[in-house]
């Protein structure tokens, strides 16, 4: 379980609060989506959890252990993150080197690395590309390698920080399918950061952020039960919700449910 208590953060002493008294808790194994427009504080939240930014007030804890400067390194090993730009997080010269990078840093023996690298590449359907250089991969493939690199480290929490926003629709749906698979077969907690309400259908829990505050949180059904709040948070409703709002009761529907009810 991840607990965030009264977290407040400013980038500069005189700047407005990037995070304003945030308290959240996520269950182990859940797929949590955090949605907000640019500047809503969602990426700041992630950076604090990863210990990339310092100087906040409040507390972050995982399974009861509170993040402090002393346990930062060990704390980080529980988290893995995939960032937005596929090119700027590919460290290795080839696919397998990149996946192994984090494992090398942990000082694991070579046999363990070989095993984990192979399994992780298998999980993201990239094993056939293991010797390829990044220049020969599409953006979607690079992001899948990034996920493999994260999975290989066997983290308790996998964070995806707008990891699909630079991909084409095909790349995006491949990624979502893989995440779905991970969600079903592993106990890894997924934290999925996005500005697109159309991508959160599969998550167990969603958090809506605006101006550094949590505006709404709960199940997908709960989040979509109040579409006014979503629109006020500068978010765009997915098409089926726009139609539900105009033609039905405005409650949450999937595409198939919409077809059935019209």
Partner 1 sequence: MNITVDGLTSIYHAGTPFEHIALDHLTTTFEPGKYYAIIGRTGSGKSTLIQHLNGLILPTEGEVQVGDLTLGKKTKQRIIHQVKKHVGMVFQFPEHQLFDETILKDVMFGPLNMGFTEAEAQARAEKYLSLLGVPERAFGRSPFDLSGGQMRKIAIAGILAMEPEVLIVDEPTAGLDPKSHIEVMELFKRIQQEFDITIILVTHDMNDVFEYADEVKLLAAGGLIREGPTEDILTDELLLTDHHLEIPDIVKLTHDLERKGIVFETVPRNTEAFITLYREWRDARAQ
Partner 2 sequence: MLSSMLLGRYIPGDSIIHRLDPRAKIVSVVLFMIIVFFANHWIGYGLLILFVLGLIRTAQINLFFLFNGLKILLFILIFTFLLHIFFTRGGTTLVEWGFIQIDSEGVITGIYITVRLVMLLVITTILTLTTSPIELTDAIERLGSPLRKVKVPIHELAMMISISLRFIPTLMDETEKIIKAQSARGSTFMTGRLKSRINALIPIFIPLFISAFKRAEEMAVAMEVRGYTGEAGRTSYRELKWQLRDTAAILVVILFGVLLYMVRM
**Positions that interact with partner 1 (CB under 8 A):** 37-39, 84, 138, 165-166, 168-170, 195-198, 234-236, 239-240, 242-243, 246-247, 255, 258-259, 262
**Token pair in block for residue 68:** 């402090």
Closest CA to 87 of 132, 133, 52, 134: 134
> Smallest distance, Å, CB 137 to partner 1?
11
β-pair partners for 207? 34, 217
CB of 83 to partner 2, least distance (A): 6
What does the alpha-carbon distance between residue 38 and residue 215 come to, in Å, rounded to a whole number? 15
Based on the shown chain and the rule CB under 8 A, indicate whether residue 115 belongs to the binding site for partner 2. no
Residue 91 lies near partner 2 (rule: CB under 8 A) = yes
Least separation in angstroms between CB 152 and partner 2: 10
Residue 190, contacted partner among partner 1, partner 2, none, CB below 5-8 A by kind:
none
15's contact among partner 1, partner 2, none, with CB below 5 to 8 A by partner kind, is none
Q: How many residues bind partner 2 (CB under 8 A)?
A: 39
Please give the structure tokens belonging to residue 107.
Answer: 């000082």
185, two tokens: 């077969």
The secondary element (H helix, E strand) that includes residue 19 is strand 19-26
CB of 112 to partner 2, least distance (A): 9
CB-based contact 114:120 (threshold 8 Å): no
Pairwise CA distance, residues 10 & 44, whole Å: 10
Q: Is 81 in the site for partner 2 (CB under 8 A)?
A: yes
Place of tokens 């269950």: 27
Smallest Cα–Cα separation from 95: which of 117, 115, 123, 119? 117
Binds partner 2 (CB under 8 A): choice among 58, 92, 218, 251: 92
Q: Does 148 contact partner 2 by CB under 8 A?
A: no
Total length of the chain: 262
Contacting residues toward partner 2, per CB under 8 A: 50, 52, 73, 76-77, 79-81, 83, 85, 87-94, 96-97, 100-110, 113-114, 117, 133-135, 149, 153
């Amino acid at each position: 379980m991840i607990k965030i208590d009264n977290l407040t953060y400013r980038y500069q002493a005189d700047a407005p609060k990037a995070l304003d008294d945030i308290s959240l808790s996520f269950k182990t194994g859940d797929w949590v989506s955090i949605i907000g427009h640019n500047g809503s504080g969602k990426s700041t939240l992630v950076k604090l959890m990863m210990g990339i930014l310092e100087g906040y007030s409040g507390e972050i804890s995982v399974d009861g252990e509170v993040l402090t400067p002393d346990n930062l390194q060990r704390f980080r090993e529980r988290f893995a993150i995939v960032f937005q730009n596929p090119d700027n997080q590919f460290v290795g010269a080839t696919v397998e080197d990149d996946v192994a990078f984090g494992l090398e840093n942990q000082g694991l023996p070579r046999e363990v690395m070989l095993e984990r690298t192979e399994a992780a590449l298998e999980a993201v359907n990239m094993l056939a590309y293991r010797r390829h250089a990044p220049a020969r991969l599409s953006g979607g493939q690079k992001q899948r390698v990034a996920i493999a690199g994260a999975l290989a480290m066997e983290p308790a929490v996998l964070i995806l920080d707008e990891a699909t926003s630079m991909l084409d629709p095909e790349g995006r749906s491949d990624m979502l399918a893989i995440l779905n698979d991970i969600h079903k077969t592993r106990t890894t907690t997924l934290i999925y950061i996005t500005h697109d309400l159309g991508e959160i259908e599969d998550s167990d829990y969603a958090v809506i952020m605006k101006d550094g505050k949590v505006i709404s949180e709960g199940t997908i059904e709960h989040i979509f039960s109040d579409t006014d709040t979503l629109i006020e948070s500068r978010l765009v409703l997915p098409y089926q919700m726009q139609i539900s709002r105009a033609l039905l009761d405005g409650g949450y529907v999937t595409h198939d449910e919409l077809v059935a009810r019209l």
